[in-house]
Amino acid sequence: MEQVLRPIYQERASSPETLGVILVEKRGAGDPITDTFDEIMLIITSNEETPIYTKHYTDGTGKAAMHVISEKQLRKWLLLGTKRKVVDWLFYGKVFFDRNEFVEELKNELKEYPFYGRKIKMGLELSRLVRVYMEGKMFFEQLNYMDAYHHAIQSLHHLARLTVIEKGFSPEVTVWAQVKKIDPAIYKLYEELIMSEEPIEKRLELLFLASEFFIHNRTLDGARHMIDIMSTKETWTIQELHEHEELRMYSINLEVLIEFLIDKGFIQVVESDSKNEYVFHRDYRVEN
């Protein structure tokens, strides 16, 4: 398929808007990293009009997919961690065109992991961790053990990612292999949850007790992004928090994280008068 695709990516490379062209080959039958295609052609462009443009090709025996992605969209995916396979494409694909070393510099950015990007990612992972942990604990207390187990696995996954980010690495590839080296205690917790011969309720009880400790130790660093933003003004309404350009990335997890940080003493509730004398507005500020 590479020979068939060559004229296509050569034509794309001739465009001044094209920043890089990467070709990713499948590693085995039904490889999910290429969405089961034989090859993926990733084209990064400076054109923001169409953030994502996709075409599929076949030569009669093989199949390939072309993804034209704007730089802005690509950086958003990398920041939020919502398209983990894209990191694989960047690191393991063949770079066929690289305007002014754009692709190489982007890969170096991911390796070096600037602290500001790490703060946002830690905040996002903490918010996801808090939600699934609380939901899992609720299921456990209701004796719905299978639902609790599902959420426990998810919470450990977010805890693992948070731990890897905390150490300055990207958690997008083989996260549990990374955690085994970085924090063996969390890896052991995961191993005991999925491999122990103890009854499921005993495994879950241990998991939720131990997770309290691990979450507590990472709350301040995980919440640093939100605390830094909220420190820029005295008080915030919930609507102002939702509309903030960076905090809106927390999406549905924003409010549960705020309530968690109130409970932990990092955020304070501020009551103010409303038009109804029997009810108050509930605003928020960083604890002094």
Residue 188, domain CATH: 1.20.120.330
pLDDT band for position 207 (cuts 50, 70, 90): very high
Binning pLDDT at 50, 70 and 90, where does residue 61 land? confident
* pLDDT for 258 beyond 80: yes
pLDDT digits (tens, 9 = 90+) for 115-131: 557 888 899 999 999 99
pTM: 0.75
Task: From 172, 201, 221, give the residue that closes a domain.
Answer: 221
278 or 102: whose pLDDT is higher? 102
- Please check whether residues 251 and 193 belong to one and the same domain: no
pLDDT-derived band of residue 179, with 50, 70 and 90 as boundaries?
very high
Per-residue pLDDT, averaged over 64-74, amounts to 94
Residues in the chain: 288
Q: Are residues 75 and 97 in the same domain?
A: yes
* 63: β partners: 58
The CATH number linked to 69 is: 3.30.460.10
Query: Do 167 and 95 have their domain in common?
Result: no
Percentage of residues of the chain with pLDDT beyond 70: 97
Q: What is the CATH number of the domain that holds 276?
A: 1.10.10.10
| Residue 114: band (very low, low, confident or very high) from pLDDT cuts 50, 70, 90 | low
- 70 and 136 both lie in a single domain: no
Least confident range of 9-13, 141-145, 202-206? 9-13
Asked whether residue 227 falls in the same domain as residue 169, the answer is no
Average pLDDT over residues 274-286: 89
Of the residues 163, 186, 221, the one at which a domain ends: 221
Inform me whether the pLDDT recorded for 263 exceeds 90: yes
Does 127 lie in the same domain as 36?
Answer: no
Same domain membership, residue 183 and residue 241: no
Residue 209's domain spans which residues?
113-221
Average pLDDT, the chain: 90
User: What is residue 113's predicted lDDT score, i.e. its pLDDT?
Assistant: 62
Residues 212 and 228 in one domain: no
- Residue 84 φ then ψ, to 5°: -65, -30
119 and 44 in a single domain? The answer is no
Are 128 and 75 part of one and the same domain? no
Whether 91 and 118 map to the same domain: the answer is no
User: Can you give the pLDDT at residue 115?
Assistant: 56
Pick the last residue of a domain from 179, 201, 221: 221
Domain count, the chain: 3
Judgement on whether residues 9 and 105 belong to the same structural domain of the protein: yes
Classify residue 111 as exposed, middle or buried by CB count within 10 Å of its CB (0-12, 13-18, 19+).
exposed
pLDDT attached to residue 1: 72
Per-residue pLDDT, averaged over 29-43, amounts to 85
Q: How far apart are CA 288 and CA 22, in angstroms?
A: 49
Task: Count Cβ neighbours within 10 Å for each residue of 207-242 and write b for 16 or more, e otherwise.
Answer: bbebbeebbeebbebbbbbbbebbeeeeebeeeebe
